[in-house]
Chains A and B, each alone.
Chain A
Amino acid sequence: MTTATFGRPSRSLWHFLEHQFRRYRTTWRATIVSGLVSPMLFLGSIGFGLGSQIDDTSSLGTLDYASFVGPGVLAGAAMIQGASLGLWPTLGAIKWEGTYQAALTTPLTAAELATGHILWIGFRVFVGSALYVVVLTLFGISESWLAVFAPFIAAFTGIAFGGVISAFAATQDRDNAFGLITRVVIAPLFLFSGAFFPTSQLPLVAQWVAAVLPVSHAVELCRHLITGQFDAATDGLHFAVLMAWLGLGWFLVIRSFTKRLSS
């Protein structure tokens, strides 16, 4: 009995992910398509459509406007997907279906459950992001082999937002506030975080807000990795901010899930 317990934490976490994979088997096609369609719509309408009206993009540092918007939208879409996976699926599993309570009657702990929950969000974001990077490559927007790292940055962005948002969702009993969060918090962050124009164009206060939050850093990182503008010093800082948020999200989701599910 005692020897069997050694090394079980990682196994429980794996079993949780295995469970999510099995659930995903019936819905993966639809979710991948919907995850891929939204950034592609922005790439098409804003990147190519609006971009066709913009002659001079020298101040943006990219060849054309689509090359500016395309990679930025990768990070922005990752944030949106991470946040929405943190809202309804969290409340669903905790409140409506109780599947997380069920999982906690196995050797799995609440901290492992929370960790698995955000890792799964990261995986979901990664899949859509990797396909989108392939699309960017097909359009000739990816100009560096470093682009292969961009889906990881997108996944980390999804985990950072997914963690913080899931921690909040786990304190709720209804989804009343969720639509508001999507419209009032997530949508503005998407529009004003440097995906469509540089954050240097924002009022100073907004620039500070953008600098503190992770999404503008993720936008820059993805853009630099994909368009070959990677710079170790600047992008190291962007990465550090993103990882700090990821750590915060992880910490908060563990605390919140533990409080909600084992009290």
Chain B
Amino acid sequence: MSSGPASAIKATGLTKRFGDFVAVAGIDLEVEPGETFSLLGPNGAGKSSTMKMVSTVSPITEGELTILGLDPSAEGREIRQRMGVVPQEDNLDQELTVRENLVIYARYFGLSWAQAKERADELLSFAQLTDRADAAVEPLSGGMKRRLTIARSLVNTPELVLLDEPTTGLDPQARHLLWERLYQLKEQGVTLLLTTHYMDEAEQLSDRLVIMDQGTIVTQGSPTALIAEHVTNEVLELRFADGPPADLDQHGWRIETLPDRSLVYADRGEDALRRLAELDVHPTGSLIRRSTLEDVFLALTGRTLVE
């Protein structure tokens, strides 16, 4: 291992406090170069605070943090030179055109005007915004603004890109286009660290992920390993007109009762449904689906991800 490349990100006991409030409570994580790593958790879990520390903008309160093998408190400038950041809110410059947003930003990283323009054209094509190059930013759709923000984060050809909730607020079509672009980056060997509260996004994109809750890491691993470890293959979702029967959890399955439905964790949902019929349990509606990270989160915290 010692001869291999250094970790893209390594955190030990990483802590962030604002006065008495503990935003991040001593987390350990290690992201390998080329990996797509997600921080998954509900709002207030500490994802964005962690991102801000990794982006070198927010000083760490305690613990250790290295990014690309460098110390963010002393070598922030060098880290930022090799990193791209996509913030939660698009902060494009409304006074500049679409192309200028890329060119001017590229200049900050030391590209010459010619290099900056060439890079901007490449990225406009990557973000499918070439025909909007000379347009103002303001009238762009949410998905276009997001793609431009992602394109902007790539002007310096970064080794590591941080994406804070990259698809929040986008429609499904815009999300899928973005995911496809992120796959392309991954293919090129770029390390991606992303936060999301969409479990499907984390499942789709991540090699590995951590589930965070209240400033701590609840569990970590690959999406499939986490599902295998914490929940069954399938989930049987049941709806009852008058609420679930009181003895539903007496039949050997783990049950989660949500306000509108009950979840029965069974490796084969079909079998579980048949067995329930034999037990004279008759739900008004039923659905069998594959287990997701949402179920893992629910199993570990007793709460759902998106409140």
B93 close to A (CB within 8 Å): yes
Give the distance in Å from the alpha carbon of A4 to the alpha carbon of B84 in the complex.
Answer: 18
Fill in one digit per residue for B72-107: 1 if any A CB lies within 8 Å of its CB, else 0. Answer: 000011101101110101011111100010001101
Contact A109 B93 (CB under 8 A): no
Q: Is the CB of B107 within 8 A of A107?
A: no
Interface residues of A in 91-109 (CB under 8 A from B): 97-99, 101-109
User: Would B107 and A19 count as touching, CB distance under 8 A?
Assistant: yes
> Which of B57, B87, B95 lies in contact with A261, CB distance below 8 A?
B57
Q: Are A106 and B80 in contact (CB under 8 A)?
A: yes
Q: Whole-angstrom distance from the CB of B16 to the nearest CB of chain A?
A: 10
Docked pose: A4 CA to B109 CA in angstroms: 11
Closest-CB distance, B108 to chain A (whole angstroms) = 4
Report B61 CB to chain A, min CB distance, Å: 11
How many residues of chain A get a CB closer than 8 Å to chain B's CBs?
29
Flag whether B58 is at the interface (Cβ < 8 A): yes
- Judge if A176 is at the interface, Cβ distance under 8 Å: no
Q: Are A107 and B81 in contact (CB under 8 A)?
A: yes
Determine the residue in chain A with the shortest Cβ distance to B76: A109
Chain B neighbourhood of A15, CB < 8 A = 107-108
Which residues of A in the span 241-263 have a Cβ within 8 Å of any Cβ on B?
A: 261-263
Residue A23 is within 8 A (CB to CB) of chain B in the complex: yes
Contacts of B107 in A (CB 8 A): 15, 18-19
Interface flag for A201 (CB, 8 Å): no
Residue B243 CB within 8 A of the other chain: no
CB distance from A216 to the nearest CB of B (A): 36
CA distance A263 to B100 in the complex (A): 29
Closest to B152 in A: A102
On chain B, which size bracket covers the interface?
Answer: 20 to 34
| Chain B binder among A5-13, A40-48, A191-199, A227-235 | A5-13
Chain A residues lying within 8 Å of B77, measured Cβ to Cβ, are: 5, 8, 12, 107, 109
* Cβ–Cβ < 8 Å partners of B104 in chain A: 18-19, 22
For the complex, what is the distance from the CA of A262 to the CA of B60, rounded to whole Å? 11
Chain B contacts of A97 at CB under 8 A? Answer: 91, 93-94
> Do A101 and B87 touch (CB < 8 A)?
yes
Chain B residues lying within 8 Å of A16, measured Cβ to Cβ, are: 108
B189 CB within 8 Å of chain A: no
In the bound complex, residues from chain A placing their C-beta under 8 Å from that of B95 are 23, 26-27
| Given A97-B94, A102-B87: A107 in contact with B59 (beta carbons within 8 A) | no
Q: Which 8 A-B pairs have the closest CB atoms?
A: A98-B91, A106-B108, A105-B85, A23-B95, A102-B91, A15-B108, A107-B77, A15-B107
Can you name 19 extra interface pairs (CB under 8 A) apart from A12-B108, A23-B95?
A: A4-B110, A11-B110, A12-B77, A15-B108, A18-B107, A19-B108, A26-B95, A27-B95, A99-B93, A102-B91, A102-B105, A105-B55, A105-B80, A105-B83, A105-B84, A107-B78, A107-B108, A107-B109, A263-B18
Could you show 14 A-B contacts with beta carbons less than 8 Å apart? A1-B78, A5-B81, A15-B107, A22-B96, A97-B91, A97-B93, A97-B94, A99-B93, A101-B87, A102-B93, A105-B55, A105-B80, A105-B153, A263-B59
